[in-house]
Amino acid sequence: MSDTVIVADKLSEKQLEYMQLIAEIMEIRKRGEKPLAFIRTYGCQQNVADSEKIKGMLAKSGFSFTDTPDDADFILFNTCAVREHAEDRVFGNVGALKNLKRKHPQILIALCGCMMEQEHIANRIYNSFPFVGLVFGTHSLHHFPELLYSSLVNSKRVFERGNDDKKLYEGIPVKRDGTFKGWLPIMYGCNNFCTYCIVPYVRGRERSREKDIILSEAREMIQSGYKDITLLGQNVNSYGKTLPEPVSFAKLISEIDTIDGDYWLRFMTSHPKDCSKELIDAIANGRHISKHLHLPFQSGSDRILKAMNRHYDRKKYLETIAYAKEKIDGVSLTSDIIVGFPGETYEDFKETLSLIREVEFTSLFTFIYSPRVGTPAAKMDDPISAEEKSKWFRELLDVQEEIAAKRCSAMVGATERVLIEGVKEKTNELNARTSGNIIVELEGSPDLIGTFRNVKITKARNWILKGELTE
């Protein structure tokens, strides 16, 4: 879009000063030995990445972090608006904080993220949850220190949403949750307006970060030991279109791939309408790029894809998949699916089933359609009952389970390179992941966490593999 050329602004000096002031206030206001913050993140990786920025700013404001809300001086929920279920959980969990605030009135309770960009939600919070002192949306992240400061010094509640959706800000400190798996946002917002989706309304228009800034952040992450880096954006295939000097996503990922080191590079999410052969070739030829393509198709029915405003049809989707299978040796394919979009019939749904049978995905993220206030789909006729949709949903899960089991069984006997990610609580086994994003469980020492190992696959249990170290 020609009117959305975005030039990045730096986090202002003023915000740095606010962080300093917050640190001074919190020294007096803290309940324990040091000021503590509790951050809970709902929803997608984009939200996780936003929370890592918030934590970065809080750390610079003198905060340490706790996993227990009861100990915290500052409690923040970073919320998700993509489905009703996520919103209901937030309302339930916020309600549960009422007693804590009554017991310790000096605690500041705050809500941020996608839900808070919706006027009706912000109003509901304002009216029904008077103990919530600070509310801000996704567009206000760059001046979070200022908002936090004014909540701490004024007795008034601070509510802010909207504006600024054409800008992006660099120089915000980041405190990453992981030490070897990390998120790297390359763009924000979405221009696609799929008719069911709230994201373009709550995250604004597409804005891409400058290629050189992304490259230097990737370099920094690789040098400091990150082994699994995921490039993030709502539609990474349209990366770079709004930059003063446009760059394609394939070019960006290929350039990152030239950085030396032992790491995997992933990305999400790709939109099938823009998934280019150039990108598939880049994955095929990459040294570090995972042989994994997450390509959400949402529905196998052309009629429903049109109603969803997806701008591709089943044939085009399958052509892209065929090209990926041809070029990328052992490609692992995953996808998102919505069941029960308004007007969807069982005949349409069967088209979704036949598509998943045809492609044979490694795994799927499946969702029952959830109406979102303000989106076109929420006004469409939706005659199918919730019970009927649940029945279809279960049918979909059964079919996918069969496919995943078949795919996983075919891997038994093979040797796979995996990244060891952690320890499974119940069994003390190690959890690992293949480049194609398949989980492998194996015996081994926790010292191996954060390292790449070769593992022989010994068993398959539905979509999970069992393996043993080969060295």
Query: Which positions lie near ligand SF4, rule CB under 6 A?
Result: 190, 192-194, 197, 199-200, 234-235, 271
**Chosen residue from 35, 272, 286, 296 binding ligand 5AD by CB under 6 A:** 296
Q: Give 60 or 203: the residue with its C-beta nearer to ligand 5AD.
A: 203
- CA 269 – CA 77 distance, rounded (Å): 24
Of ligand 5AD, ligand SF4, none, which one sits near residue 407, judging by CB under 5 to 8 A according to partner kind?
none
**Whether the bond into 362 is cis, omega within 30 of 0:** no
Can residue 118 be called a binding residue for ligand 5AD (CB under 6 A)?
no
What residues numbered 18-77 form the site for ligand 5AD, per CB under 6 A? none
3-state secondary structure (DSSP) of residue 265: strand
Q: Give 36 or 305: the residue with its C-beta nearer to ligand SF4.
A: 305
Write down the least CB distance from residue 168 to ligand SF4, Å.
17
Helices (H) and strands (E) in the chain, counts: 14, 21
Write down the least CB distance from residue 275 to ligand 5AD, Å.
14
Of ligand 5AD, ligand SF4, none, which one sits near residue 193, judging by CB under 5 to 8 A according to partner kind?
ligand SF4
- CA 24 – CA 37 distance, rounded (Å): 15
Write down the least CB distance from residue 296 to ligand SF4, Å.
7
Distances (CA, A) of 142 to 167, 191, 195, 259, 279: 10, 21, 29, 29, 32
Q: Give 238 or 248: the residue with its C-beta nearer to ligand SF4.
A: 238
The letter for the amino acid at 329 is D
What residues numbered 360-399 form the site for ligand 5AD, per CB under 6 A? 367, 369-370, 372
**Chosen residue from 53, 55, 83, 176 binding ligand 5AD by CB under 6 A:** 83
- CA 316 – CA 322 distance, rounded (Å): 10
DSSP code per residue over 309-324 = T-S--HHHHHHHHHHH
Write down the least CB distance from residue 183 to ligand 5AD, Å.
15
Q: Give 91 or 367: the residue with its C-beta nearer to ligand 5AD.
A: 367
Say if strands 207-208 and 187-188 run parallel, antiparallel, or are unpaired: antiparallel
- CA 364 – CA 346 distance, rounded (Å): 20
Number of other residues whose CB lies within 10 A of the CB of residue 65: 15
Q: Are 140 and 162 in contact (CB under 8 A)?
A: no
What residues numbered 348-367 form the site for ligand 5AD, per CB under 6 A? 367
Q: Give 55 or 83: the residue with its C-beta nearer to ligand 5AD.
A: 83
Of ligand 5AD, ligand SF4, none, which one sits near residue 65, judging by CB under 5 to 8 A according to partner kind?
none
Q: Give 71 or 88: the residue with its C-beta nearer to ligand 5AD.
A: 88
Residue with the two structure tokens 């909207």: 162
Of ligand 5AD, ligand SF4, none, which one sits near residue 126, judging by CB under 5 to 8 A according to partner kind?
none
Can residue 82 be called a binding residue for ligand 5AD (CB under 6 A)?
yes
Q: Give 295 or 411: the residue with its C-beta nearer to ligand SF4.
A: 295
Of ligand SF4, ligand 5AD, none, which one sits near residue 370, judging by CB under 5 to 8 A according to partner kind?
ligand 5AD
3-state secondary structure (DSSP) of residue 127: helix
What residues numbered 195-214 form the site for ligand 5AD, per CB under 6 A? 196-197
Dihedral, CA of residue 421, residue 425, residue 428 and residue 434, to nearest 10: -30
Write down the least CB distance from residue 371 to ligand 5AD, Å.
7
Q: Give 194 or 221: the residue with its C-beta nearer to ligand SF4.
A: 194
Of ligand SF4, ligand 5AD, none, which one sits near residue 192, judging by CB under 5 to 8 A according to partner kind?
ligand SF4
Of ligand 5AD, ligand SF4, none, which one sits near residue 372, judging by CB under 5 to 8 A according to partner kind?
ligand 5AD
Write down the least CB distance from residue 120 to ligand 5AD, Å.
16
Q: Are 452 and 417 in contact (CB under 8 A)?
A: yes
Write down the least CB distance from residue 376 to ligand SF4, Å.
11
Q: Are 208 and 186 in contact (CB under 8 A)?
A: yes
Encode 39-89 in three state secondary structure: EEECCCHHHHHHHHHHHHHHHHCCCEECCCHHHCCEEEEEECCCCHHHHHH
DSSP conformation class of 241: T
Of ligand 5AD, ligand SF4, none, which one sits near residue 234, judging by CB under 5 to 8 A according to partner kind?
ligand SF4
Q: Give 197 or 229: the residue with its C-beta nearer to ligand SF4.
A: 197
Q: In the stretch 303-342, what mask flags binding to ligand 5AD with x, by CB under 6 A?
A: ---------------------------------x-x----
406: which 2 tokens?
């078949």
Q: Are 72 and 66 in contact (CB under 8 A)?
A: yes
Distances (CA, A) of 259 to 199, 252, 254, 467: 32, 12, 9, 30
Which spans of this chain sit near ligand 5AD (rule: CB under 6 A)?
A: 82-83, 196-197, 296, 298, 336, 338, 367, 369-370, 372
